Chain A
Amino acid sequence: MSARTLYDKLWDTHLVTENDDGSSLLYIDRHVLHEVTSPQAFEGLRIAGRMPWRLDTNIATPDHNISTDRSERESGVSGIPDETSRIQVQTLDDNCDHFGIKEFKMNEMGQGIVHVMGPELGATMPGMTVVCGDSHTATHGALACLAHGIGTSEVEHVLATQCLVTKKMKNMRIRVEGKMGLGVTPKDVVLAIIGKIGTAGGSGHAIEFAGSVFRDMSIEGRMTVCNMAIEAGASVGMVAVDEKTIDYCEGRKFVPKGDVWHQAVAYWRTLLSDSDALFDTEIELHADDIIPQVTWGTSPEMVAPVTALVPRPEDQPDKELRKGLVRALEYMGLEGGMPIVSINVDRVFIGSCTNSRIEDMREAAQVAKGRQVAASVKQVLIVPGSQMVKAQAEAEGLDKIFIAAGMEWREPGCSMCLAMNADKLGDGEHCASTSNRNFEGRQGKGGRTHLMSPAMAAAAAVAGHIVDVRSFLGQTISKEIQL
């Protein structure tokens, strides 16, 4: 057989059949469900009188619209004040109970943001096809899964048939070689990639992230990178299996033990691109060129190094791009040519499926430790990605560091990443945010989002404005923060 990429191998393993019309039937191993994109799919099943194809491939949890406020959470689903949110969470519970789907309910250990929960429970394992009605499903690709977001009609399709009717994508490889510098995190690497290839740069492709930077990166860091593949236009992002992948999986709740474990590991070790495999598109960056990144505009591609100036429209020769630039600066309330570090922040959000894992919490805590939130900052939300992350962070005393610094330690959920619950920005407010999208209105109508790493967001909380976190890092902590 000719040389294959990781994506080719995953595709071949899951191909049920190829149809005459050029489409393929692809088998889905793991289907992750949440409250927002599933109710209409379950309703569709009911109307058609269909049952799920099989139950042990599905796993569900509420995350998108639930409150992160402890007292509200303690009053349970019936205590959710917003009626439409309450109905949606209750509907997920009812549907999972009715069809017999495994759900980690709102306050149960195991609950969390879908893309934090799946890997940490071992529900997603290397080599699986993973889908979810959420575009950040590529996160699971950090474990060498073929993982991508789907719409609600496809949620219903997967529930009913365990398959997707789809077409093979093109292969893209993004290599980043070198070693990440002080204060540079996986978030900075992926933002730099998006800055280079643009928000549509990966359209129609499955991206494999390769090179020494990703080999040196933790699994959590790889998840941050794969998570934002969609922000570069690619619904699939992944990293090949190595020892870190296998170490990460070992001992997790749904991962096999004994002989089956050894059998699985032997297979997982084959999940990498052949050395002579061909990619349709190759992109290369060097770690030396990447310093902490911040978005200044209303699309993730509107990103720059923290030391840069906000771009001037008059320097942009392309008419369409200039028009977009003018509109973005107007929405963001910024002037071309001003230093990025002069942008004041009103609120700070550390969380989301991009950056809410234990490493992110540690990274933020290292900066917050012994420091105070600036008086001009209205609110700093620290939202762990899951009940397990929350428990681990509390066991390490991170919650106390955040609270002592004047930050709020919240319950797990998607929170201000998409502002479906009460955590949102006011009109015109600037937010240092570790989430994944800086679209207009994403974090609240009129809200102005600046995407950055957890370390950078924590530093902005302390300074009251965007700041280069490297100036915060003393010699004693520099090694730890260098992920």
Chain B
Amino acid sequence: MKAFTQHRGLVGPMDRANVDTDMIIPKQFLKSIKRSGFGPNLFDELRYLDHGEPGQDCSSRPLNPDFSLNQERYQGASILLTRKNFGCGSSREHAPWALEDYGFNAVIAPSYADIFYNNCFKNGLLPVILLEREVGILFSELEASEGYQLDIDLVSQTVSSDSGQVFNFSLDQFRKQCLLNGLDEIGLTLLQSEKIKQYEIEREKSQPWVYGAIK
């Protein structure tokens, strides 16, 4: 997995609450059996005026001029600034895949849906949680200055703007370590194989019906 330590980048806004995973990546794109290539279809229904289908050449599709990320000033954005409960809805990991493939390295919001939040860490995408008030300040600064950039430092767990604002964010230590080191989580778990096997032996003795039925 891709590691994340620190990042400085252009901020792009998605100024609404409860952005759901159907909005992030509509279902027709979930038919792919690959992990990559979802970026051109990120926010497809908001971003384009026509109906998107897999396999299209998105470069020639009509863009929705009212969609924030289509504006010239936000081209190349790598930090998404948004509102509360981002990523609610389905468990589709295609949502963080699409955000990452589009070019985002981090998302900043007051809160996230549980499954989406968890999925981000598996893909080197950092979901930063700030207070609603702090997110409000960043939205105001973003609106006021073109080319607005932020610094995110995972080691010190801070978001800082060039105006001197510094906000701290918290996250679980195990998630932080995995992201900082880009660790292979499966490989780490397999280091505990003996414990898992021991657990299974004891479980099978006390609850034999859990095993063997499905063949």
Contacts and interface: CB of A to CB of B under 8 A. Distances in A.
B133 interface: no
Given A161-B196, A440-B23, A256 B16 contact: no
A303 to B, nearest CB: 14
B20 interface: yes
A233 to B, nearest CB: 7
Interface in B61-99: 83-85, 88-93, 96
A161 B190 contact: yes
Nearest to B206: A267
Contacts of A82: 31
A324 interface: yes
A151 B112 CA distance: 15
Contacts of B83: 320
Interface string A44-85: 000010100111111100001100000000000000001011
Given A17-B195, A150-B91, A440-B45, A420 B214 contact: no
Contact of A102 (B17, B45, B214): B214
Contacts of A267: 207
B123 A233 contact: no
B203 interface: yes
A23 interface: yes
Given A65-B31, A419-B27, A263 B209 contact: yes
Nearest to A19: B174
A264 B209 contact: yes
B51 to A, nearest CB: 5
B212 interface: yes
B210 A29 contact: yes
Between B22, B51, B89, B111, the greatest number of chain A beta carbons within 10 A of the residue's beta carbon is seen for B89
Nearest to A254: B213
A48 B186 contact: yes
A87 B214 contact: no
A474 interface: no
Interface stretch (A199-207, A240-248, A398-406): A199-207
Interface stretch (B2-10, B113-121, B147-155): B113-121
B33 A56 contact: no
Given A16-B195, A135-B89, A440 B22 contact: yes
Contacts of B162: none
B33 A87 contact: yes
Contacts, number: 207
A162 B33 contact: no
Nearest to B26: A441
A255 B208 CA distance: 11
A112 to B, nearest CB: 16
B192 A200 contact: no
Contacts of B22: 418, 437, 439-442
A43 interface: yes
Interface in B129-159: none
A50 B186 contact: yes
B213 A256 contact: yes
Interface in A394-431: 418-420
Given A150-B91, A199-B88, A327-B16, A56 B214 contact: yes
Interface stretch (A33-41, A184-192, A278-286, A371-379): A33-41
A85 to B, nearest CB: 6
Interface string B14-34: 001110101100111011111
A151 B113 contact: no
A234 B27 CA distance: 22
B214 A58 contact: yes
Given A27-B199, A153-B123, A21 B54 contact: no
Contacts of B188: 165
Given A230-B115, A420-B30, 13 more contacts: A17-B192, A21-B177, A25-B189, A55-B214, A85-B31, A150-B91, A161-B190, A161-B196, A163-B196, A255-B213, A267-B207, A437-B20, A437-B89
Q: Which 4 A-B pairs have the closest CB atoms?
A: A153-B122, A151-B93, A149-B91, A39-B33
Interface of A: 16-17, 19, 21-23, 25, 27, 29, 36-37, 39-40, 43, 48, 50, 53-59, 64-65, 82, 84-85, 87-88, 91, 102, 122-123, 125, 127-128, 133-135, 137, 148-154, 156-157, 160-163, 165, 167, 199-200, 203-204, 230, 233-235, 254-256, 260-261, 263-264, 267, 299, 320, 323-324, 327, 418-420, 437, 439-442, 445
6 contacts: A39-B33, A102-B215, A135-B91, A264-B209, A439-B23, A445-B45
